[in-house]
A and B are shown apart, each in its own frame.
Chain A
Amino acid sequence: MLLYRTDEWYNKLSQEELQKLINQNKAWFEKLTAQGKAVPGRALERKGVTVSGENGRFVTDGPFAESKEAVGGYLVLDVETIEEAIAIAQSSPGLAYGGSIEVRPVAEECPLDIRARELAREEQLVTI
C-alpha cells in the first residue's frame, strides 16, 4: 500500500504546473491499473477528526492539513515484492515537488494474531 504524505506542497505550483502534474498523475495511474498493478485508490479530504480514549470519548480536530505527516491519499497495489512497490512509488510524478510516499506491505495476517500466538508459545515454554 502507498500512503501519500503531504503538506499541501501543491499550493506553491502555478496553474500550468498543476495541470501538467494532474495529467502526469492520471497517465501514471491509468498505466498501473491497465497493468493490473494498482486497484482504484482515493484521495482523502484535507480535514478530519481523530477519535481516542475509552469508548471513543475524545473527538478532536485533525490531522492538520499543513502537517508534513498528514496522509493525503492512498493506493493499494497488487505486486509480488516490496521492491516493486518501492519502484512504483519512485515513479510517482508528484515526488519532484514535495511530499513523500510511505510504502507498507499489507499484512497476510493481523499482527495482533501473530503477537498473541507468540505470547501463547512463550507461556507454554515457561509452563514446561
Chain B
Amino acid sequence: MLLFRGNDWLKSLSSEEKQKVTDQWMAWFRRLTDEGKAIAGNPLEREGKIVSGKNRVVSDGPFAESKEAIGGYFLLDVASFDDAVAIAQQCPGLPYGVKVEVRPVAAECPVASELKHEAQLANA
C-alpha cells in the first residue's frame, strides 16, 4: 500500500503546475490500474476527526497543513516490496515535497500473529 503524506505542498504551485501534477497523477493511476498493478485508490478530504481513548473522545484533526498528514492512498497488487518502492518512485508529487510511505499489507492481523507466536513459545 502507498500512503501519500503531506498536504501543504500544493500551496506553492501555480494553477498550471497544479493542473499538470493532477493530470500526471491521474494518468499514473490509470496506467497502474490498466496494468493490473493498482486495485484501489482514493484521495481523502483534507480534514477529518480523531477518535481515541477509553471514553472514545472525538477531536478535530489531522491538521490539513501537516507534512505528515495522509492525503490519499493506492492499494497495489505487485509481486514484491521492491516493485512497490519502484512504483512509489514514479509519484508525480515527489518533486514538490510529497512523501510516499510504502507498507506491505499484512497476510493476517499482526495482533493475531503475535498471539500465535506467544502460544508457540509457551508450548515449546
Taking Cβ atoms with an 8 Å cutoff, the residues of A that contact B are 1, 3, 5, 10-11, 15, 18-19, 21-22, 25, 42-57, 59, 62-63, 69, 71-74, 76, 82, 86, 89-90, 92, 95-96, 99-107, 109-113, 115-116, 119-120, 122-123
Q: List 17 A-B contacts (CB under 8 A).
A: A15-B118, A42-B105, A48-B102, A50-B100, A52-B100, A56-B85, A56-B88, A57-B89, A71-B3, A76-B42, A99-B52, A101-B51, A102-B48, A102-B49, A105-B44, A105-B48, A111-B45
B residues touching A (Cβ–Cβ < 8 Å)?
Answer: 1, 3, 5, 10, 14-15, 18-19, 21-22, 25-26, 40, 42-46, 48-54, 56, 58, 61-62, 68, 70-73, 85, 88-91, 94-95, 97-106, 108-112, 114-115, 118-119, 122
- Pair count A-B, CB < 8 A: 182
Which of A56, A59, A89: most chain B Cβ within 10 A? A56
Complex contact B42–A106 (CB within 8 A): yes
B104 touches A45 (CB 8 A): yes
Q: How far is the CB of A98 from chain B (nearest CB, A)?
A: 8
Chain A at the B interface: SS class: mixed
Q: Is the CB of A86 within 8 A of B51?
A: yes
B53 to chain A, nearest CB (A): 7
Chain A residues lying within 8 Å of B100, measured Cβ to Cβ, are 50-52, 56
Which residues from chain A contact B106 at a C-beta distance below 8 Å?
A: 42-45, 73
A113: B residues at CB distance < 8 A:
22
A3-B70 in contact given A42-B105, A100-B52, A115-B10 (Cβ < 8 Å): yes
Report the nearest A residue to B52, measured CB to CB.
Answer: A100
